[in-house]
Structure 1
Amino acid sequence: MLRKTGLAGWAAAALWLPLTVASEENDNIALTVNDVIEQTGVLSPKGQWSLDTSLTYTQNSSNKVSVVGYTVLPTLIVGRIEVSDADRVTMTLGLTARYGLTNATELEFRLPYVYRNDQVAVRPIQDGSQDNNVINTTTSGGGLGDLELAVRHQFNFDTTPYWIGGLRVKSNTGRSPYDVSIDTATNTLNDVPTGSGFWSVEPSLTMLYPSDPAVLFASVGYIYNFEDSVSIDSTSANVALGDTISIGAGMGFAVNPDLSFSLGISHKTILKSTVNGQSADDAKLLQLDSFTFGINHRLNERSSLNISAQAGLTEDTPDFQLTLRVPYYF
């Protein structure tokens, strides 16, 4: 199903679509790529409920060196140097309920719980100091993430490729980064945010093309973030997070009627954020590219097990993401 999981979720969404789908018939649930090839409906049938439980592990690390000064020789720097090393781990438990309004239209509600552990080591800016004064900070905690509501519609059944349109609304129920105080000594947050702090809406379009024994898929989406008033350094400001343009494509391959795997690649461009209508001078576009490999195995007639691993290909993308999903159709 087309859905998100945190900052890299859209990429995984495109991969899950051909692996966990429901047919038009209430007694015939499609759980693998082989089922998609044989059936035409890819959303929950009319009047049918499903519950999707997922657990996502995300790891991201960064090493930065900031220099304020000038170079006398290629190996001699006069000025101030700051070195930081950050390792961030995020665990997201998601419960997703889906209901078929009609055989072509599906409604979805997602409830996430987010736990984060951030470890940051910083050597503060100093002038000519020979001391190795490294400050290590560990911040951990969890809480409710951003609730999501989505609706999807399959436009055609009799011809291929199949086209599915979607509209997702994300709330701001998670703890916002702007609601967390900052430690000025290390420039790190004193608590972990569990949400973006902003409402957003995401229209999307997905294409599925069955080609026995594979299913080709491609998706495009756009996330629009609504501007909101937040407090920055005890001053109220109107902040608009940068919108996101998403594209992705891949293939699901049926090994046998019960086992399938998928390969996919996705790209995100995050536009510049603005404060009071203006972008900072050092603001830049973020380019997120990732590669995903997934395996799906049918457990029984109404459930399957899906495991997917995602590797970041660019600096701004999370280094590694592992997702375990178990959908169940009632």
Structure 2
Amino acid sequence: MKEFKYKSLIALLALCFSTAVVAAEDPAKDAEPNKKTKEEKPKRVQTVADIFEQPGVLTPRGSFVIDSSLSYTQNSSNTISVVGYSVLPSLIVGLIQASDIDRTTITFGLSGRYGITNRLEVEVRIPWVYRSDSISERSAGIGQEKDKLIDLDGNGLGDIEAGFKYQLNMNTAPYWIGSLRFKSTTGDSPYEGSPDDLPTGSGFPSIEPGLTMIMPIDPAVIYMNTSYIWNIEDDVDLAGTKASIDLGDTISFGAGMGFAVNPKFSFSLGLSHKTIFKSKVSGVENFNAKVLQLDSLSVGANYAVSRDTTINVGASAGLTADAPDFQLTVRIPYTLK
């Protein structure tokens, strides 16, 4: 696993390097019939990309954007498990245990985006993650006076990501943008370290191709996107034995609308869906594995403090049992000329 972590870092750097090589292409390929002057920056279609972290009209050539973000995620679940057997439909012999789990995740992210050409931008994101789980358990029928409380936490560097986005068309709407993202394994893996320390990463590298459509309808923007996350299989230690883990891949879809109230303020509404397929251990699915369906509703607002700085606030609420209950994100992108 450690060797794979270093290999994923090398692959991430190789991705950034290969993208930078494209900058050596002839700039005339990006020239349009109505070419702008050197002093005039290409005009963005809208600010939907700044609200939801969705790829939009890309960073202009030669511009560098520093994007700092703070995200708070809250999730909870209540379960009842029975260890025993049923004599009658209303009579259970055995141990009944109820548990209440509250999970909190705080992520500080620092991203950098650079416009290699007016069609192509490269991006690197470095997250720092803090996780805290509070588990309350109570067994019924054994005279337990109070709940059993278990508190776990973990913090540290998360999984560093790198990728690029390419705008397929420039002159006519709708605008189509292709993207490719690679996630490393720099965060703590769930299969390494102490059981009392929560992991800050997934433990597996992944590759995510995606496609986004943006349709400006003044003063609104309609967007749709889809992506596929391929988690790369790896060998891990399970109870002292080597096992091959293949995390379930993910298909995601999203759609929404952004609306510009005035030149400084805009808001948006969106829906997103993710289907996470079953994971496998040494090529075999667990008997209780299931396909997860995650749906969420998102709202966001964007305020332009200046031409170079904006403040973005986004919130999402889970619509299905497996989706996070609530997520709040504050982002401050700053553009360097």
TM-score norm. by structure 2 comes to: 0.83
- C-alpha deviations, 1:2-28, integer Å up to 9, x for none? xxxxxxxxxxxxxxxxxxxxxx87754
- C-alpha deviations, 1:43-68, integer Å up to 9, x for none? 11112111000000000011100013
Establish whether residue 159 from structure 1 lines up as the match of residue 172 from structure 2. Answer: yes
**Residue of structure 2 aligned with 1:130, choices 125, 143, 147:** 143
Q: Percent identity?
A: 53
Q: How does 1:1-330 map to 2 (within 5 A)?
A: 27-28=40-41, 33=46, 42-123=57-138, 128-132=141-145, 134-182=147-195, 190-330=196-336
Shift of 1:74: 4.7
Aligned-pair RMSD on alpha carbons? 2.0
Would you say how many aligned residue pairs link Structure 1 and Structure 2?
Answer: 294
Shift of 1:78: 1.5
Cα separation, 1, equivalents of 2:47 and 2:153: 42
The gaps in structure 2 that reach 5 residues or longer are: 1-35, 50-55
The gaps in structure 1 that reach 5 residues or longer are: 1-23, 183-189
- Identify if the C-alpha distance between structure 1 residues 255 and 171 changes in structure 2 by more than 3 Å, giving closer, same or farther: same
- Identify if the C-alpha distance between structure 1 residues 257 and 29 changes in structure 2 by more than 3 Å, giving closer, same or farther: farther
Match of 1:256, SS? coil
Q: Is the contact made by 1:177 and 1:192 (CA closer than 8 Å) also made in structure 2?
A: yes
- Identify if the C-alpha distance between structure 1 residues 31 and 159 changes in structure 2 by more than 3 Å, giving closer, same or farther: closer
Cα separation, 2, equivalents of 1:302 and 1:245: 34
- Identify if the C-alpha distance between structure 1 residues 72 and 198 changes in structure 2 by more than 3 Å, giving closer, same or farther: same
TM-score norm. by structure 1 comes to: 0.85
Shift of 1:134: 2.9
Shift of 1:197: 0.3
Cα separation, 1, equivalents of 2:78 and 2:318: 16
Q: Is the contact made by 1:263 and 1:292 (CA closer than 8 Å) also made in structure 2?
A: yes
Tell me which amino acid in the other structure corresponds to 2:191: Y
Q: Is the contact made by 2:79 and 2:100 (CA closer than 8 Å) also made in structure 1?
A: yes
Cα separation, 1, equivalents of 2:291 and 2:147: 31
Cα separation, 1, equivalents of 2:201 and 2:44: 31
